[in-house]
Amino acid sequence: ERHAALASDVDVHEVLGSDVILDKSIVYWATAMLDSRSIWWDGRRHLTPLLDLVNADSIGRAHETKVEESSAVTRVSRPVKRGEQVFENYQQPNYLLFAFHGFLLESLESNPSDCALLGGLSINHNDPGAKFASRLQSSPTFCISGTNIDSMEELAQFLRMKHGLSTNKLESESSLNEDVVPYLTQVLKERISRLGDLTESGTELEDEPTQQRRLHIMSRMAISDLAHFQAALELLKERVDF
**pLDDT tens track, the chain, 242 positions:** 677 777 788 887 788 888 888 888 888 888 888 888 888 888 888 888 888 888 888 889 998 888 888 888 888 888 999 999 999 899 999 999 888 887 888 766 688 899 999 999 988 889 998 887 776 666 789 999 999 999 999 999 999 989 998 876 655 567 788 899 999 999 999 999 999 877 665 555 455 666 677 777 888 888 889 999 999 999 998 876 64
Cβ pair 27, 21 in contact under 8 A: yes
How much is the pLDDT for 31? 81
Phi, psi of 40 (to 5 degrees): -105, 135
* Closest by CA position to 133, among listed 142, 144, 141, 124: 124
- 116-118 and 65-68 strand pairing: unpaired
How much is the pLDDT for 210? 65
How much is the pLDDT for 176? 83
Instruction: Identify the helix (H) or strand (E) that includes residue 116.
Output: strand 116-118
Cβ pair 176, 192 in contact under 8 A: no
Instruction: Identify the helix (H) or strand (E) that includes residue 66.
Output: strand 65-68
Report pLDDT digits (tens) over 46-73: 888 888 888 888 889 998 888 888 888 8
Alpha helices, DSSP H, located in 46-151: 94-101
Cβ pair 140, 124 in contact under 8 A: no
C-alpha 113/C-alpha 111 separation (Å) is 5
How much is the pLDDT for 201? 56
Alpha carbon separation from 130 to 84, 88, 133 (Å, rounded): 57, 44, 5
How much is the pLDDT for 205? 47
Cβ pair 52, 27 in contact under 8 A: no
Alpha carbon separation from 111 to 31, 89, 149, 159, 211 (Å, rounded): 26, 9, 17, 28, 25
